Chains A and B, each alone.
Chain A
Amino acid sequence: MDSLNPTPTAEVTHRTLKNEQGRVFREIDAARVVAVRNRGRIDGILMAPSMFDALRSRAAAAERLLAALPLLIAAARSEVAIPSETFQALGIGGRDDWRALNELLASVPVTITHGEDGHPLPKASDVVLQHIPVEEDDEELVVDADAATTVA
């Protein structure tokens, strides 16, 4: 079985779920994805934590890829080299042309998902900013040069 195939390979009934929890968890352990059937229809899915984590991880990866996809497609179409590890891994190249790259990025909407260190970025675009005009004081500091020398 594909380790990330979420198709249930076992079923339990509501009654079993309620009365035989030990058996249900053994089923989850063995089958990884178990359907809960009630009166002829499936109304719940139970899965092993490892399966849930793997699916969640794959969904996040798909969402990330969705953000990068417009850029990747545009780069592939225009045959412009872009800094992409996916393209590198797939052996997809392109011409090294700063002008074409700049023009590509100026025209294809990209969504930045991660910071320089690779951590997901918080959604700062939701933050409401407000400029509050203030009067600035133009007074300058008067520094005692002798005292400054002493500190140094």
Chain B
Amino acid sequence: MSSEPAGDSPYLHHADYWVAAAEAGEYPVRQGDLFANVQTANGAHLDAALIVHPTCELGKASVTNVQVARVQPLDALPDENQRQQVVAGISEKDGGVRIAFAHTFFVAPVEGSALHIPMWADFRELVLAPRKRFTPDARIGALTHDARVTFIRRYLYFRLRWLLSFEQVRDMEAARIGANPAFAGPRPDWVV
């Protein structure tokens, strides 16, 4: 069953982020999937990273490195108000609701994994990492199709400052997936 955020809320309920572990094997590695202990192409180490690279590129032999965003625990932010803004993705000021820290994407805990903590991905910290390490077996969390819509929506705002609605992004994804005969794994139930 699909889920969606309430109104313009940037994020889904934390329980709707990840494909259940028992079903994750059916899903190929995609944009938005979460990995732990990522070695970057220049030898640095990241405790966790989220794939930002377009999914359709991940299978190409010529793609040796993929773009990932650094993921950090929420606890890395000492300021309580900033933590709340990252979790909410928005803040209220003068009666207006504004985007907060557009370069962040709230990452819900993955139950039963080493990353069972609230986190956030930093779109400002994109790095390259060898593609061969990003396998389904090494994956900590497979992002649900619905959560990927929120990911794309957030990323679009960060990159282009376009705030599209969840429905607009989902409709575009539905049309794209529906027109792609090579789409692998279970399809979202909103694709006709």
Interface residues of A (CB under 8 A from B): 61-62, 64-65, 67-68, 71-72, 81-88, 96, 98-99, 101-103, 105-116, 118, 120-121, 124-125, 127, 129-131, 133, 136, 138, 140
As a 0/1 sequence over residues 7 to 35 of chain B, the CB contacts with chain A under 8 angstroms (1 = contact) are 11111111010000000000000000000
User: B132 in the interface, Cβ–Cβ < 8 Å?
Assistant: no
- Measured between beta carbons, the chain A residues less than 8 angstroms from B168 are 124-125, 127, 129
Nearest Cβ on chain A to B15's Cβ, whole angstroms? 9
A114: chain B residues within 8 A (beta carbon): 93, 96-99
- How far apart are the CA atoms of A131 and B171 in the complex, in Å? 9
Count of chain A to chain B residue pairs whose CB atoms are closer than 8 Å in the complex: 157
Q: Does B126 contact A (CB under 8 A)?
A: no
- Are A81 and B84 interface neighbours, CB within 8 A? yes
Residue B2 at the chain A interface, CB threshold 8 Å: no
Are A129 and B179 CB-contacts (below 8 A) given A64-B94, A81-B84, A113-B97? Answer: no
A112: nearest chain-B partner, CB-CB: B8
Question: Least Cβ distance of B100 to chain A in Å?
Answer: 6
Known: A116-B101, A125-B168. A83 touches B13 (CB 8 A): no
Given the complex of chains A and B, what is the CA–CA distance between A85 and B95 in angstroms? 9
Interface residue from A71, A81, A136 paired with B80 (Cβ < 8 Å): A81
Query: Out of B81, B95, B97, which one reaches A112, CB within 8 Å?
Result: B97
Q: Tell whether, in the assembled complex, residue A112 and residue B172 are in contact, meaning their CB atoms are under 8 Å apart.
A: no
Flag whether B139 is at the interface (Cβ < 8 A): no
Q: When the two chains form their complex, are residues A118 and B176 in contact, meaning their CB atoms are under 8 A apart?
A: no
Give Cα distance in the complex from A64 to B14, angstroms. Answer: 28
* Alpha-carbon distance between A71 and B93 when the two chains are bound, in angstroms: 12
Residue of chain B at shortest CB distance from A81: B84
Q: Measured between alpha carbons, how far is A131 from B192 in the docked complex, in Å?
A: 14
Q: Number of B residues whose C-beta is below 8 Å from A?
A: 52
Contact B74 A98 (CB under 8 A): yes
Query: How far, in Å, is B170 (CB) from chain A's closest CB?
Result: 11
Complex contact B12–A112 (CB within 8 A) = no
Residue on A with the closest CB to B177? A131
With both beta carbons as reference points, the residue of chain A lying nearest to B164 in the complex is identified as A124
- Chain B minimum-CB-distance residue to A110: B7
Of residues B98, B164, B179, which shows the largest number of chain A Cβ atoms within 10 Å of its Cβ? B98
Interface presence of B55 (CB below 8 A): no
Instruction: Establish whether residues B108 and A111, one from each chain, have CB atoms under 8 Å apart when the complex forms.
Output: no
Docked Cα-Cα span, A116 to B102, in Å, equals 7
Q: Are A85 and B5 in touch, CB under 8 angstroms?
A: no
Look across to chain A and name the residue whose beta carbon is closest to the beta carbon of B6: A109
Q: State which of A83, A111, A133 has its C-beta within 8 Å of the C-beta of B8.
A: A111
Apart from A106-B13, A106-B14, 10 more pairs, CB < 8 Å: A82-B84, A82-B92, A83-B81, A84-B92, A102-B106, A103-B13, A105-B89, A115-B161, A120-B96, A127-B164
Interface membership of B65, Cβ < 8 A? no
Sorted nearest first, the 6 A-B pairs with minimum C-beta distance are A109-B7, A131-B175, A65-B95, A114-B98, A83-B91, A106-B13
